[in-house]
Amino acid sequence: MNYSEIKNSLTNINQVDDSNSLIVKIKPLKKELDKKGVDIRSDYFFYMTNLITSYSLNIKNYYLRAFIDYEKSKSEEELLELSENFDENLFNEEFKPYLVNYKNLKINLDRNLIIECWSLFEFCVTVIFESILSTEDIEKSKDKYRKKFSKVIKGQLKDIDTEVLNLILDGLKQQVDNFIPTMNKVNKIIKHTKSSYPEKDEDIKFMTFINRLRNAIHFNFIYKGVDKPPFKFKNNTYRFEDGKTVMATTNDHFQVLGLLEEFINVAFRFLNCIETEKELKNPTETTNDK
């Protein structure tokens, strides 16, 4: 590869990069879900396509910014010499420090990709949960948390007046959807649909892992909570011990695209297992083909 070819690959935002392979992967999955009806399930993959496309463009921007700085450091004579007598190994060594200058941009892009992919999934799960479970089922879920809140409050305020306690619990109950964990909703959806889902146990483990990882990212990869067993993915081990980093070398070995590819597979199997006559309408308009 000569200098012009490398320059083109680094600065052309239409150039194919690793993340584009995920978009290629999503298309047939979305098409399969469209057979069930173009609803929140297929819209989820529409959203994911937009998310990955944005990530791809920003990754190109990461390289482009570094390359502009690199070329600015060179005289016209040096650039001409590079074009005529190109040494790829020398270029890579010279270019590496400029990439380091934008390392934080790359790290933030990777972190945000995981955060956003889970947020989209949470939205999708909540829409499905509220669509297919009856009002009675949802109220039962809320009552379960009402009992938990009551136990905690009574434990801290042993002499609390019953009327005051009920007022507090009624107020919390109105907001309890914020307290129902996404994974609880996932389990209730799977139980409600009663469809064949042979990968269920492994997929739930992976969803739970991504959820914990997302939460840790908010604390700069420091896990907060009850200690959980480590999770192994490819060559990495992610540890969840209260107050400790999830990975000792997170910034160097955070396999964001590998994680996202697996999550896409898991999300598809979960969404595809849902068999219901209820309308799973997306409350938010998209430009997805209807």
* The CA-based dihedral angle spanning residues 19, 210, 282, 279, taken in that order and rounded to the nearest 10 degrees: 120
Q: Is 176 exposed, middle or buried (0-12, 13-18, 19+ CB in 10 A)?
A: buried
Under 8 Å between Cβ of 275 and 125: no
Cα(145)–Cα(142) distance, integer angstroms: 5
Q: Is residue 281 part of a domain?
A: no
pLDDT of residue 271: 95
Q: Which domain holds residue 183?
A: 3-272
Q: How many domains does the chain have?
A: 1
pLDDT over 70, % of the chain: 87
Whether residue 280 lies inside any domain: the answer is no
Give me the mean pLDDT over the 245-260 stretch. Answer: 76
The pTM assigned to this predicted structure is: 0.78
Greater confidence, 117 or 105?
117
121 within 8 A of 204, measured Cβ to Cβ: no
**Structure tokens belonging to residue 160:** 């609390």
pLDDT (0 to 100) of residue 235: 80
Within a domain: 175 = yes
Mean pLDDT of 4-20: 72
Decide if 64 is inside a domain.
yes
- Look at residue 289 and tell me if it is in a domain: no
Model confidence over 140-193: pLDDT tens digits? Answer: 666 666 777 778 788 777 778 888 877 877 777 666 555 678 998 999 899 888
Does residue 92 lie in a domain region? yes
Cα 22 to Cα 44, 159, 176: the distances in Å are: 14, 57, 35
- Please report the pLDDT score of residue 290 as a whole number: 47
Q: Which run of H or E residues covers position 260?
A: helix 256-272
